[in-house]
């Protein structure tokens, strides 16, 4: 069997490897997206005091540490006897401000740095051009906006948590620091950095960009790596609207039928099972009652817009209508629409940040609460890439005895494998030679999910693209390093 | 705007043995230093660092190097260049300078202080040779650059 290896996949957050297995006629027989990193956080956090969890687990990642910090904090809140609604208003709002800042900067990072080169230059552009530096050279105004949008989100994180990466905000039952009036003004007055109003305007502009792009490339966006799937995300407990911090878990199938009906976070174990495959360290979660074959779900921006019934902020709500009109109000299973959905969420986060920055509660000293101690806590949050579950059990000496983490990219494991299969069968199969363009299309399909494989800490910062192709006897017949 | 006109950026990861050379150099500046310069730590250089350095007239990038260096370190000029690595997770200093030039029309004086490292495993702490190189680089920097 011929084997093509793409190792590592570039422009995703971390390392991954794709193998495509061909038969003797160069027809694709099978394909796999391997996650070969092993972190072991669930194990080595055992024995640590529970209050260390929000600080320790965020070291999983250099891209989305805030999400891990807050998911762990929500779980630890339960251990000190508090549900999310029991926290003080100021603590809830400061945490949400941190959360929206994180999603805003992460989505900006993904679109401007990772996805836009594919959209602006196309699959066939040289790799030396098809990257964010190429975007900066050819579209400097777009690049500058991308840089400043990411910076704005990072500055929000720095204000709330002390530093841009691996800061600390949440403490058991609340937060440890309020926002000062001067800190708040920095984001409102536009003197040192563009203001939050500018962020909203730029978010609208980039949505306009993707809508124009869609009007010119509708067939590609509709068809590329599209396949039916379930969708999972949090929704607001009262009205089913888009919810990123705390809500009920809802899942639907590819046609919109409810498969998980707004369950409480604490019940997740009754509905989810994590399958394993010997070729990947990443598990394959699915809904038990639906079964492994059909019970897997996409998570992230596309899934969230599919499962929600509306958006609470007016500008993002308006943009959601155009998004839904593109599929005649039907459930959207088109992978490339993830980019559009991500930008609508970016606008929503900007609107929410403005609302929170203007709320005087964030200046309050009413920061922490305490309840009746428990031995178990579950925190579920919508991270930039999708639903993130943290679950801890502790003993009477406050030591963590069990930890279970289901991260967003894990939920998307099956979905990313389906995306790779789509490209393998529709683009590569039957071709005599594997081109750079074909390889890049595999990556484009994966990148739509913005997978976070835990990175930012590579020893020497080198990440070449290495491609190896083997004939059916296992002989290396082609090898490329970009 | 920042008051200082110079910034030193340490690049690396102290969890990867000698890859921590850049950060440890910055640590030593914090201990001994100077109000003349701003200091920054980076796992990797990214495109937004072009925006950061535009606030300064001079930038020095400090990083571990695999190459054999006769003195154990090298202090050299850094010129703008459109060097690309395939991934854009990490940019080289030359590209960051080029971006500062192209995006913000800012031309800076820039240098690279490269310090030779030897071991890159997932472990905290320098190898003895890297520690020796770090000491030599610090001595050179304090004697010839700061003073």
Q: Is pLDDT of A357 > 80?
A: yes
- Mark yes or no for CB contact A456/B15 under 8 Å: no
pTM of the model: 0.87
Q: Closest-CA residue in chain B for A129?
A: B84
Task: Compare all CA atoms of chain A with the CA of B18 and give the residue at the minimum distance.
Answer: A459
Backbone angles phi, psi at A398, to 5 degrees: 75, 15
Indicate if the alpha-carbon torsion angle A136, A140, A142, A147 is positive or negative.
positive
Q: What pLDDT, in 10s, does the model give residues A181-215? A: 999 999 999 999 999 999 999 999 999 999 999 99
Return the ∠ at Cα A287 (arms to A284 and A291), rounded to 5°: 85
Q: Residues B87, B93, B94, B99: is their CA dihedral positive or negative?
A: positive
- What residues form DSSP beta bridges with A377? A392
Contact A143 B88 (CB under 8 A): no
Beta bridge partners of A468: A5, A479
What is the average per-residue pLDDT within A20-31?
A: 77
pLDDT tens digit sequence for A331-345: 999 999 999 999 999
Q: In terms of Cα–Cα distance, which of A114, A112, A84 is closest to A99?
A: A84
| Side-chain-side CA neighbours of residue A7 (13 Å) | 14
Residue A163's pLDDT band (boundaries 50, 70, 90)?
Answer: confident
> What is the side-by-side strand order in the sheet with A2-7?
A28-34, A17-22, A2-7, A466-470, A476-481
Q: Is B43 close to A464, i.e. CB distance below 8 A? A: no
Residue to substitute from B44, B61, B89, interface A, most A β-carbons within 10 A: B89
Instruction: Please check whether residue A141 touches B, CB under 8 A.
Output: no
Beta-bridge mates of residue A4: A20, A469
Greatest CA separation for chain A = 69
- Quick check: B87 pLDDT over 70? no
Q: Is A115 exposed, middle or buried (0-12, 13-18, 19+ CB in 10 A)?
A: buried
Please state the domain extents for chain A.
Answer: 2-37+415-481, 48-411
Does residue B56 register a pLDDT over 70? yes
CATH of domain B6-146: 3.40.50.1450
* Rounded CA separation A395/A47 (Å): 9
pLDDT winner (highest mean) among A58-62, B89-93, B118-122: B118-122
Q: Is A140 on the interface with B (CB under 8 A)?
A: yes
Please give the pLDDT value at position B34. Answer: 66
Chain A 70-99, CB below 8 Å of chain B: which residues? none
Exposure of A237 in the CB half-sphere (CA atoms within 13 A): 9
Mean pLDDT of A353-358: 98
> Which residues from chain A sit within 8 angstroms of residue B47, using beta carbons?
113, 132-133, 136, 143, 147
**A40 burial via Cβ count (<10 Å: 0-12, 13-18, 19+):** exposed
Q: What is the mean pLDDT of residues A161-186?
A: 91
Give exposure, B9-20, as e/b (b: 16+ Cβ within 10 Å): bbbbbbbbbbbb
CB pairs under 8 A between A and B: 89
Of B66, B82, B95, the CB nearest to A460: B66
The CATH H-level (homologous superfamily) assignment of domain A48-411 is Cytochrome-c3 Hydrogenase, chain B (1.10.645.10)
**Minimal Cβ distance to A460: which of B47, B86, B120:** B120
H/E element holding B62?
strand B58-65
State percent of chain A over pLDDT 90.
Answer: 62
Query: How far apart (Å, rounded) are the C-alpha atoms in residues B106 and A262?
Result: 53
- Which residues in chain B touch residue A151, judged by CB atoms under 8 angstroms apart? 48, 51
The encoded tokens of residue A439 equal: 């390889």
Matching residue, tokens 């905290």:
B124
Identify which of A155, A105, A15 has the alpha carbon closest to the alpha carbon of residue B87: A15
Calculate how close chain A gets to B129, using CA atoms only, in Å: 18
Q: Is the CB of residue A158 less than 8 Å away from at least one CB of chain B?
A: no
| Complex ipTM value | 0.74
**Whether residue A29 has pLDDT greater than 70:** yes
B87–A10: do the CB atoms touch at under 8 Å? yes
Gap between the Cα atoms of A118 and A120, Å rounded? 6
Nearest CA in chain A to B48: A147
Does residue B13 sit at the A interface (CB-CB below 8 Å)? yes
What are the structural domain ranges in chain B? 6-146
| Least confident among A140-144, A244-248, A446-450, B135-139 | A446-450
Task: Give A476's pLDDT tier (boundaries 50, 70, 90).
Answer: low
Cβ-Cβ contacts under 8 Å, B45 against chain A: 461
Q: What is the pLDDT of residue A237?
A: 95
What are the helix (H) ranges across A139-195?
A: 140-161, 181-188
């Amino acid at each position: 069997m011929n084997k093509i290896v793409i190792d590592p996949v570039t422009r995703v957050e971390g390392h991954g490897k794709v193998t495509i297995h061909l038969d003797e006629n160069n027809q694709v027989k099978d394909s796999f997206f391997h996650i070969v990193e092993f972190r072991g956080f669930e194990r080595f956090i055992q024995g640590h005091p529970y209050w260390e969890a929000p600080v320790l687990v965020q070291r999983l990642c250099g891209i989305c540490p805030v999400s891990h910090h807050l998911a762990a904090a929500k779980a630890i809140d339960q251990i000190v006897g508090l549900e999310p609604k029991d926290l003080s208003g100021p603590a809830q709002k400061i945490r949400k401000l941190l959360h929206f800042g994180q999603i805003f900067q992460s989505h900006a990072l993904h679109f401007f740095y990772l996805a836009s080169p594919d959209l602006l230059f196309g699959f066939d552009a040289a790799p030396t051009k098809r990257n964010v530096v190429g975007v900066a050279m050819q579209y400097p105004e777009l690049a500058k906006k991308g840089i400043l949008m990411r910076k704005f989100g990072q500055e929000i994180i720095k204000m709330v948590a002390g530093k841009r990466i691996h800061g600390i905000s949440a403490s058991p039952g609340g937060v440890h620091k309020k926002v000062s009036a001067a800190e708040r003004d920095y984001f409102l007055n536009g003197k040192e950095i563009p203001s939050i109003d500018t962020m909203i305007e730029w978010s609208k502009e980039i949505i306009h960009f993707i809508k124009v792009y869609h009007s010119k490339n509708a067939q590609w966006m509709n068809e590329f790596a599209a396949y039916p799937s379930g969708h999972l995300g949090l929704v607001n407990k009262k009205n089913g609207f888009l919810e990123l911090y705390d809500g009920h878990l809802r899942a639907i199938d590819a046609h919109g039928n409810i498969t998980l009906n707004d369950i409480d976070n604490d019940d997740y174990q009754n509905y989810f099972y994590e399958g394993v495959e010997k070729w990947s360290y990443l598990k394959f979660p699915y809904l038990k009652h639906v079964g492994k074959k059909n019970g897997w779900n996409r998570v992230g921006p596309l899934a969230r817009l599919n499962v929600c019934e509306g958006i609470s902020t007016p500008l993002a709500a308006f943009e959601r209508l155009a998004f839904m009109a593109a599929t005649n109000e039907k459930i959207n299973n088109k992978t490339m629409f993830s980019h559009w959905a991500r930008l609508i969420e970016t606008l929503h986060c900007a609107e929410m940040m403005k609302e929170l920055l203007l709320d005087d509660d964030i200046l309050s000293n009413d920061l922490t609460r305490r309840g009746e101690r428990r031995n178990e806590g579950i925190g579920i949050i919508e991270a930039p890439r999708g639903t993130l579950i943290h679950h801890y059990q502790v003993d009477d000496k406050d030591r963590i005895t069990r930890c279970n983490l289901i991260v967003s990219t894990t939920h998307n494991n099956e979905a990313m494998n389906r995306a790779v299969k789509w490209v393998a069968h529709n683009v590569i199969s039957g071709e005599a030679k594997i081109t750079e363009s074909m390889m890049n299309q595999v990556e484009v399909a994966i990148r739509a999910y913005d997978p976070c494989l835990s990175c930012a800490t590579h020893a020497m910062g080198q990440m070449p693209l290495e491609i190896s192709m083997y004939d059916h006897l296992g002989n290396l017949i082609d090898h490329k390093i970009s | 705007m920042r008051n200082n006109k110079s910034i030193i950026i340490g690049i690396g990861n102290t969890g990867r043995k000698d890859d921590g050379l850049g950060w440890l150099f910055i640590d030593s500046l914090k201990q001994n230093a100077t109000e003349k310069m701003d200091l920054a730590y980076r796992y990797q250089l990214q495109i937004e660092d072009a925006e950061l350095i535009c606030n300064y007239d001079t930038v020095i990038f400090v990083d571990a190097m695999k190459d054999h260096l006769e003195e154990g370190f090298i202090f050299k000029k850094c010129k703008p260049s459109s060097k690309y690595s395939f991934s854009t997770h990490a940019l080289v200093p030359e590209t960051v300078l080029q971006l500062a030039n192209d995006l913000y029309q800012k031309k800076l004086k820039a240098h690279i202080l490269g310090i030779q490292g030897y071991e890159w495993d997932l472990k905290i702490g320098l190898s003895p040779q890297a520690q020796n190189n770090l000491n030599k680089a610090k001595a050179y920097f304090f004697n010839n650059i700061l003073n």
